[in-house]
Amino acid sequence: MTKVVEKAAQKADYPSPDTGEVQGAPSEGGAGGLAQPLPFQAGRKIIKDGEMSLVVEDTDEAIDDVTRITVEKGGYLIGLETTLRDGFKEAKLVLGVPVEEFENLQRAVRGIALRVPKDNASGVDVTDQYVDTQSRLANLEATQARIRQFLDKATTVEESLKVNAQLAEIEAEIEKVKGR
């Protein structure tokens, strides 16, 4: 009895946890390894998404294999949902993996399937948004430092309370930007 496992929304993390940058791109005509990034690729911040459906012999074994492969690639399981449909167990896995391992993970996951009836991937270059966010964070942190200086110079309780309120607003905004 053949069973189906679906792997959906394979989401790549960005930037690389080690360097903060995309580490490589698939090499042309190579054996599937990663090459050094080309000059136009260096420092780019990319988010990749993929979805595939797999037909496998044993769904539970495939779940374990996909999870193991994901961890080996520096990723993690974000979500898992299993259902029983017409006597077949189906699973939907949502994975997170560093962007430089995205294609390697896809290739490895395809390798455990009997068939791959659905397979798609896309990517978005978010470098501009990342740079804008970093610039905004730097400005907010500079403002925070100036407000702290004002707090140190406050001479009345009223001045201290007003400056402290502004400081709290800036710190909340900094946390929001860092969360992005």
Q: How confident is the model at residue 4 (pLDDT cuts 50, 70, 90)?
A: very low
CB 106 within 8 A of CB 121: yes
pLDDT of residue 22: 39
**Is the model's pLDDT at 45 over the cut of 80?**
no
CA 37 vs CA 27, 43, 100, 127, 172: distances in Å: 9, 9, 10, 15, 37
- Residues 1-7 have a mean pLDDT of 39
Going through the chain in order, the beta strands assigned E by DSSP cover 3-13, 25-26, 34-35, 46-56, 76-85, 88-98, 115-125
Cα–Cα distance between 135 and 132 in angstroms, integer? 5
Residue 173 pLDDT > 70, yes or no? yes
CB of 144 closer than 8 Å to CB of 170: yes
Q: What is the pTM of this model?
A: 0.53
pLDDT at residue 1 is higher than 60: no
CATH architecture of 3-125: 2-Layer Sandwich (3.30)
State pLDDT tens for residues 117-141.
999 887 888 777 766 777 778 888 8
Closest listed residue to residue 51, CA positions, set 126, 118, 150: 118
Mean pLDDT value across the chain: 77
Residue 27 pLDDT: 37
Determine the pLDDT at residue 30.
Answer: 39
Residue 147: the pLDDT is 87
Question: What is the per-residue pLDDT for 65?
Answer: 96
